[in-house]
Structure 1
Amino acid sequence: MRIWRNIAQASCFLFIGMLVCSCHQTEKEKITRLMEKWNGKELVFPTNLPFVAEDRDTLLHPTEDTSNYKIVTYVDSTGCLSCKLQLLEWMDFISEMDSITRKKVSFYFYFHPKQKKYLITLLKQEGFIFPVCIDTKDEFNQLNQLPENEKFRTFLLNNKNRIILIGNPMHSPQIKELYVKTIIHEQ
C-alpha cells in the first residue's frame, strides 16, 4: 500500500511539474504577447499635468501636438533614478532624430519620482531641456496600466497617439534602430 501511495505522489509531482513546464513562456513569447497587446493601442494623457522645460515657457501637451511621431517614455524612481533616466543618451538620441527628421518627432518624458527635488537637480545637472512632466501622483501609469518591465515603458506613437512600437531605445540598440527605421521609412 505504501508503494502505491509513493507512486501516486511521485506521479502527482511529475504531472504538476509537466504542467508548470508547459505553461512556462519563453522570454521571446512574453515579449511577442506584450507587443501584440500594445500595438495600435491609444495612450491616454492626463490633461491636468503640465510639461515643463528649462528653455521654454509654454509647451504643447501631447494631446495638442500634431507631430507625425511622438516618443513617450515613463520612468519611476524605483531603484537608481539617474541610471534609469539615461539623460545624456536621450539627449544624443533626440539630437540624432532632430537631424534625421528635421524636428518632426516630439519627445515627452513622464517621471514619477519619490524625491522631486532630486529629479530636478539631476535634470539641471545634465542640462536636460526637453519637455518633462513630473507626475507625483503616477497618473500617467495608472491611466494606461503600463507594463511592469521598465524596458517596455517607452512608446513610439503616430499622430493619433496610437502605439506603433514599444520598447526603450536606450536599453537596446536594436529597438533604437527599429525606431529610426520606422520613422524614416514612413516619412
Structure 2
Amino acid sequence: MTKLNATIIITLFSVIAVSCSGNYEKEKAVLSSLFGMEIIIPDSLVCLIQKTEIDYDMRDADFKIITYIDSADCTTCRMKLPEWDKTINSFISNENVDVAFLMIVTPRKHDNDDVRDILRRLFFNHPVAIDSEGIFIKSNNLPKETAYHTMLLDSENRIVAVGNPASNPKIRNVYSRIINGEENGNIPHLCERSADAFGIIGKGDTIVRHFSLHNNTGCTLSIQEIVPSCSCISAVISPDVVSPDSTATVTVTLVADSVPGYMRRHIDIFYEEKENPERITLHGYINN
C-alpha cells in the first residue's frame, strides 16, 4: 500500500466514523467493502443543465464524482448547490485530468418541481439527473447512510474514495490528492475561484467572466505573459504589476466553438517572480 493510499484510507475512516455512528470498526468494514466496487451509472438517466436536457457522456473521464440524494428528507436542502458549484470548479482547473461530475436526485413526489426550480434559481450549471424511479440506487448496492452516497470513481467506475467533498474540507483534500497527485494536491493559488461553469450557450456566443487574483506571496508580482489554450479564449489583467496583499482583476472572454458538446478552455497567467502559472478555466456546454 502506498503512503498516499494509506493516508487516504485513514482520513476517510476517521471522518466517516465521526459523521456516522462513531463506531470506527463498523465504518472501517463498510468503507473497506466499498473501495474497488464498480458503480453502475444507468444509461437511461436523463441529465439536465438547469431545465435543458443534455447529451452527457462521462465514459472517457479519468475520474467521476457522483453524489446521490434520496427522498428521505428535504431534497432541495440536501443538494447544497452553492457548495457543490465551488467544489466542482476547484477540480476542473487541471486540464491534464478529465473530471466529470453528476448529481443524481431521487426527489419525493411533491419535491420534483422544487428541484427543477432551485436548479434554475441558483443558476446551477452542472449536470443533474432527476431519477424519479430510483434507478441508480436499485442498480447499486450502497449502504443506507447518506455519508456513503458521494464517491470518487476512477476511469473504470470503481470507487477510490467515499465522502462528500462539498461539505467536508478534509474529504475535499483527499479527492484533490487523488485527482491531482500527492505532490500537486495542495499547490497554493492566487485565485480562490479558479474556474467557472457557464452552463449552456449557443455556437458563436460570447461570454465574459471576471476573476480576482490576490497576491499572497509577500513579493511584488509582474505579468510575464498570458497564454490561452486556444484562440477562442483571451484575457486581460489589471493592474499588470500586483503589490503584496493587493488584488488584480482578470477579465476572461470566450467565444463558443462551432463544435457542440462539452467545452473546457483555460488561460495561464505567468509571472516573472513565480515559477508556476495561475490557471483560470471556463467550462460548459455548447448547444447544436
TM superposition score category, shorter chain reference: 0.7 to 0.9
Instruction: For residue 60 of structure 1, report the CA deviation from its aligned partner.
Output: 2.3
Q: Does 1:27 align with 2:27?
A: no
Counterparts of residues 12-91 of structure 1 (less than 5 Å): 27-54=23-50, 58-62=54-58, 65-91=59-85
**Alignment of 1:97 onto 2:91:** yes
SS in 1 for 2:60: coil
Question: Given residue 109 of structure 1, which amino acid in structure 2 is its aligned partner?
Answer: M
1:67 Cα offset (Å) = 0.8
Q: Which amino acid aligns with 1:154?
A: T
Q: Secondary structure at the match of 1:79?
A: coil
Once superposed, what is the RMSD of the aligned Cα atoms? 2.1
Higher relative strand content:
2
- Unmatched 5+ stretches in structure 2: 1-20, 185-288
User: Partner amino acid for 1:52?
Assistant: L
- After TM superposition, give the deviation of residue 151 of structure 1 in Å: 1.4
TM-score, with length taken from structure 2: 0.52
Query: 1:56, CA displacement in angstroms?
Result: 6.6
Q: When you count helix as a share of all residues, which structure comes out higher?
A: 1
Give the match for residue 155 of structure 1: 151
Supply the distance in 2 between the matched residues of 1:85 and 1:129 (Cα, whole angstroms). 14
Match of 1:9 in 2: none
Identity of aligned residues (%): 29
Q: Which protein is bigger by CA-based radius of gyration?
A: 1
Amino acid at match of 1:71: I
Q: Which residue in the other structure is 2:123 paired with?
A: 127
Residue correspondences, number: 161
Query: What is the rounded CA distance, in whole Å, between the counterparts of 2:167 and 2:52 in structure 1?
Result: 28
Structure 1: unaligned runs, 5 residues or longer: 1-24
Asked if the contact 1:70–1:159 (Cα under 8 Å) also holds between the matched residues in 2, the reply is yes
The residue identity in structure 2 corresponding to 1:152 is Y
Query: Residue deviations 1:119-168, cap 9 Å, x none?
Result: 10111111111111110011101110222111110110111111111111
